[in-house]
Structure 1
Amino acid sequence: MSTLNLSLFDKSVAFTLILMGLITALIVWRGSQVGVQIVSITPADGATDVSTRAEIEITFDKIMSGAVDDIPFAFEPPIGGSIRWDGSRLIFSPDTAFDQNTTYRVSLTDQFFSQSGRLLLDQPSWQFQTGQIRLLYIAPVANSGNQLFTMNPFNPDEAPLQLTQEPQGVFDYALSFDGAMIAFSALHEDGRSDLKIVPADASRSPTMLLECGEAECTGVAWMPDGQRLIYERRNIPTPFAAPGPSRLWWLNLDSSETMVVFDDTQNLGYGARWSSGGEWFSYVAPASEVVQLYNIHDGRNVVIPSRLGEIAEWNPQGDMLLVPEIQRSETGGFAVHLVRSKPDSGQLQDISGEGMAVEDTSPKWSPDGAWIVLTRKTSGTTMGKQLWLMRPDGSESRQLTDESQVHHSFPVWSPDGRYLAYQRYSLEEVDARPSLWLLDVESGDARELMTPGFRPTWLP
């Protein structure tokens, strides 16, 4: 019987291999004991002045399985919502806005596993406080044109905050989906304009987004993720000349790269609007007299007739939209009705009521999608438009204002769906100026906020 004789070197190698195996086993065992870790939580514990439209985001240190049966969050006060996974991130989107000036306590209520089977061992709890909702609007300033302001519509003693000081003024603006940033068109003396950006909380001064050169850049439409936007570009090769036709362009906010949305030079458009999911955007195609819907993932197109050329309005869920369109009324004249469309089916429904002799425009969905506010007047009359409410199918319509010599426009819902801010203009007063008003939808009470002021938008 032979005996295995190992040299000192062989014994050292064997010992090293055994030791490495033990260390590896220890690391694997320790890793299984450590489990999944949380890298960050947004809003963070103790955060204040949080947007009422904020999403809750948890980032893990591993790619997660995403196998969660129910909503894995408990809120106090309670609020409903939905979740989605993005690799190692869990994102909660509330169904309605958080209440303003309210402390929310949040905890996780389910077990979470990574794709490798590791468990989240510690279930965190934290709290944050929402801020005061405000109103964003445009108002004239002596010697510098129109500028952007914000105000607290619930405290008349609080002075408005001026966000911009553009020498030639601001033409228009657009608020990002999360309510954090404002892109606006800054005018030049020669009629051209650039795109700039400013935080909604005025934490820093406006900065340049895009120098447009011999062009007018307006009509920004933010993508829901805030990474890109679409804008309207009209060439003005000669200073003070009339702008050319509008084409839609992309702008990447990280790289500042800009390019046309459609290569076809005859594909003109304006009034881009995004669905909340970021899958579809709509725009007015004036040459074809339609509102065009385009799916950026698969290239699908849906066409909605629109001889009026009004901008479409998406519902909060992102699965249907409203388009004002010219119709024949029961009196034989022309009317303007709201047509509801679902892009997946192409189905069209007149929700103003067949044959109704009305002009319905400026529709806005309530935050929960249960109501639509619109401006309405009788077709063919010179009366001012009034504010009306109706359900998405056209039922339960009721009038909110009744001032035939006052024109109401630009209605916008507060994040909680209780208030409407709108623009009001007297048709009787000489040298009348547009003013901003606030309407309590529950009580019907209305009061003036600011004169002059126009184009309001809520800051969540």
Structure 2
Amino acid sequence: MRARYLTALFFFILGTMFSTESSASDDAAKLQEEIHHKGWIVYCSRADNGTWDLFLCRPDGSDKRNLTNTADFEEAAPRFSPDGKKILYRRLDKGSTINHDKWGFQGKLTICNSDGSDPVEYGGEGEYPWAAWSPDGTQIASLTVKGIQVIDLATRKVVKEFPRKGIYQQLFWSPDGKWFCGTGNHGGESWTVVRMNLETGEVNALRSFQTCTPDWYPDSEHVILSSRPAGQPANNGYGYTQLWEVDGEGKEQKLLYGEDGVHIYSGAVSPDGEYILFSKCPDDGGGAERSGGTICLMRSADAPTIGGPSPELRKVHPDVKNGPVIEIDKGWEPHWTYQEISVRP
């Protein structure tokens, strides 16, 4: 009797496991189908020859193509223009190691068409550091030693300057044109993500302590960023970097995705704010110095989601949704446009 009971229990547990796995697989398949035709994602990844190239794929990872296919350069940190017709990126000498903290100071600013054609270099090595598109795509903001400079792309002239106010890397311009965000020193804290008002020059902290790599939501009122909260027992007390959303005042803080065992970087939001891109990597910093991390996608509505067992993280965030997360490719710094892009012959 006992043997029969244990056998029945075994098959019940086994069936439950298969049912859960099947359900998760179905949810991921639904997400892939949902996003397949929603534009394109650009990112940098290692090509077959070992150099960093720019790649394009559908949001579900299909229709992958090498945009630049250059054996003599390392190309990194691509970003679509607001209309999706151009891509801004950094072009480094072959064999250069991309620094996950200082990549905005490396290489030459280069802009090409969204299909990878007609690349044009702007300036020399290290010029136009941390270049970021203006909302209309006619200008860039650059984080220089002198300050934040706004440059007209047609004339390449500086048309406006702002003091840095402690911002030292990862500068981005809000879609409504009213704000900058970046990583800086603020209030006695380094590694703090801040927001700058372009009209007044005032700066406010969004999230402090081991926080970086911000980017804007399309509403210009929220920012996505990476943060390694203090007090994590995992990883011998060092903890793991997680993906967070904060509002422009820094008052509302929300976990988007976390997973013990990997660090979460390269956070970006779809043009309508409905989906989230990120990369996960066992190396802190996102893996730029090697081959990047695994680029992933999830729904914004499924946040917060926690991957893997992550027992310590689940204790801190017990009310998670555990939505589907799909893996796209190995790479770094993905960016998304809903603009359709023609295939070059």
Question: For the superposition of Structure 1 and Structure 2, which TM-score range results when normalised by the shorter chain?
Answer: 0.5 to 0.7
TM-aligned CA deviation for residue 232 of structure 1: 4.9
Which residue number corresponds to residue 325 of structure 2?
Answer: 447
Which of these residues, 25, 30, 51, is aligned with residue 145 of structure 1?
51
Q: Is the 8 A contact 2:46 2:331 kept in 1?
A: yes
Q: Tell me how far apart the structure 1 counterparts of residues 112 and 46 of structure 2 sit (CA, whole Å).
A: 18
Which residue number corresponds to residue 168 of structure 1?
Answer: 72
Which of these residues, 161, 169, 172, is aligned with residue 310 of structure 1?
169
Which residue number corresponds to residue 456 of structure 1?
Answer: 334
User: Letter of the aligned partner of 1:319 in structure 2?
Assistant: K
How much is the aligned-residue C-alpha RMSD, in angstroms?
3.6
Q: Tell me how far apart the structure 1 counterparts of residues 69 and 204 of structure 2 sit (CA, whole Å).
A: 45
Which residue number corresponds to residue 30 of structure 1?
Answer: none
Which of these residues, 198, 219, 243, is aligned with residue 343 of structure 1?
198
TM-aligned CA deviation for residue 317 of structure 1: 0.4
Which residue number corresponds to residue 24 of structure 1?
Answer: none
Which residue number corresponds to residue 233 of structure 1?
Answer: 124
Identity of aligned residues (%): 19
Say if 1:432 and 1:170 are closer, same or farther in 2 by CA, change over 3 A: closer
Which residue number corresponds to residue 377 of structure 1?
Answer: 228
User: Letter of the aligned partner of 1:344 in structure 2?
Assistant: E
The SS at the match of 1:143 is coil
2:142 matches 1:283? yes
2:259 matches 1:403? yes
Q: Tell me how far apart the structure 1 counterparts of residues 216 and 240 of structure 2 sit (CA, whole Å).
A: 22
Q: Is the 8 A contact 2:206 2:249 kept in 1?
A: yes
Say if 1:169 and 1:435 are closer, same or farther in 2 by CA, change over 3 A: farther
TM-aligned CA deviation for residue 179 of structure 1: 0.7
TM-aligned CA deviation for residue 432 of structure 1: 8.4
Which of these residues, 314, 318, 325, is aligned with residue 184 of structure 2?
325
Q: Tell me how far apart the structure 2 counterparts of residues 371 and 456 of structure 1 sit (CA, whole Å).
A: 19
Q: Tell me how far apart the structure 1 counterparts of residues 265 and 225 of structure 2 sit (CA, whole Å).
A: 9
Q: Is the 8 A contact 2:168 2:182 kept in 1?
A: no
Which residue number corresponds to residue 274 of structure 2?
Answer: 418
2:110 matches 1:206? no
2:243 matches 1:387? yes
TM-aligned CA deviation for residue 382 of structure 1: 3.0
User: Letter of the aligned partner of 2:175 in structure 1?
Assistant: P
Say if 1:273 and 1:195 are closer, same or farther in 2 by CA, change over 3 A: closer
TM-aligned CA deviation for residue 282 of structure 1: 3.2
Say if 1:385 and 1:276 are closer, same or farther in 2 by CA, change over 3 A: same
Which residue number corresponds to residue 271 of structure 1?
Answer: 130
Q: Tell me how far apart the structure 2 counterparts of residues 194 and 315 of structure 1 sit (CA, whole Å).
A: 23
Cα offsets for 1:25-55 (capped at 9, x unmatched): xxxxxxxxxxxxxxxxxxxxxxxxxxxxxxx
Which residue number corresponds to residue 216 of structure 2?
Answer: 365
Q: Is the 8 A contact 1:180 1:199 kept in 2?
A: yes
Say if 1:359 and 1:167 are closer, same or farther in 2 by CA, change over 3 A: same
User: Letter of the aligned partner of 2:117 in structure 1?
Assistant: P
Q: Is the 8 A contact 2:298 2:326 kept in 1?
A: no
Q: Tell me how far apart the structure 2 counterparts of residues 424 and 146 of structure 1 sit (CA, whole Å).
A: 18
Unmatched tracts of structure 2, length 5 or more: 1-33, 97-105, 232-236, 285-289, 304-322, 339-345
TM-aligned CA deviation for residue 195 of structure 1: 7.3
TM-aligned CA deviation for residue 285 of structure 1: 2.5
Q: Tell me how far apart the structure 2 counterparts of residues 393 and 177 of structure 1 sit (CA, whole Å).
A: 24
The SS at the match of 1:442 is helix
Q: Tell me how far apart the structure 1 counterparts of residues 270 and 201 of structure 2 sit (CA, whole Å).
A: 30
Q: Tell me how far apart the structure 1 counterparts of residues 132 and 88 of structure 2 sit (CA, whole Å).
A: 14
Unmatched tracts of structure 1, length 5 or more: 1-100, 102-130, 211-230, 235-245, 249-269
Q: Is the 8 A contact 1:320 1:340 kept in 2?
A: yes
2:71 matches 1:177? no
1:19-38 → structure 2 map (5 Å cutoff): none
Say if 1:138 and 1:279 are closer, same or farther in 2 by CA, change over 3 A: closer
Say if 1:379 and 1:292 are closer, same or farther in 2 by CA, change over 3 A: farther
Cα offsets for 1:353-376 (capped at 9, x unmatched): xxx5x2221111111223211111
User: Letter of the aligned partner of 1:152 in structure 2?
Assistant: R
Say if 1:360 and 1:177 are closer, same or farther in 2 by CA, change over 3 A: same
Q: Tell me how far apart the structure 2 counterparts of residues 194 and 303 of structure 1 sit (CA, whole Å).
A: 23
The SS at the match of 2:259 is coil
Tell which structure's C-alpha radius of gyration is larger: 1
User: Letter of the aligned partner of 2:213 in structure 1?
Assistant: S
